[in-house]
Chain A
Amino acid sequence: GQQVMQIPQYQHVQEGEDFTTYCNSSTTLSNIQWYKQRPGGHPVFLIQLVKSGEVKKQKRLTFQFGEAKKNSSLHITATQTTDVGTYFCAGPGDSSYKLIFGSGTRLLVRP
């Protein structure tokens, strides 16, 4: 079945440093979504990418969808302690309504 892999599993950065997480799918995706889960919290939707090569920005966060629509990335510029959490990508499974989540990248930020 369709799999979504994320790397790295874990990253610990100094506040102010940049951070990037990568998401790779075994199949071409019609779209990809990103979620953030704070420690002890639930996943919260960040963004959806649909077009090949699409780039979207939300303040310090930049999201990219690969040209082949099989990979995506999330880059955070100048991390802050409020960025702490686990970032998940998610793509449609064997049907459009079935969202398959990656294993997530856990971000820790040293103040």
Chain B
Amino acid sequence: QKEVEQNSGPLSVPEGAIASLNCTYSDRGSQSFFWYRQYSGKSPELIMFIYSNGDKEDGRFTAQLNKASQYVSLLIRDSQPSDSATYLCAGGFFQKLVFGTGTRLLVSP
């Protein structure tokens, strides 16, 4: 069974700090990984995706993929209170996305 695991949190960081969100997956066949942000009561919003081993940066966000360890992470630099949300990691499996349960991030002013 394909699974994506995340720590539910909450992860609490002060404003301006780096938030590190982690995700592991069980199926080595997955080639693509996605990070979505979901505010309470809203639908998920795509932050970024990554296919290749290594780092991918987009503004304050950096996604990291290590296929050998089956590990994906998202770093948020200069965290802001508006970043407080649930972050969903998803693995792509033949057109479908399998979501983790999400990590709740709290950024305190």
Q: A and B: partners?
A: no
| Residues of A bordering B, CB below 8 Å | none
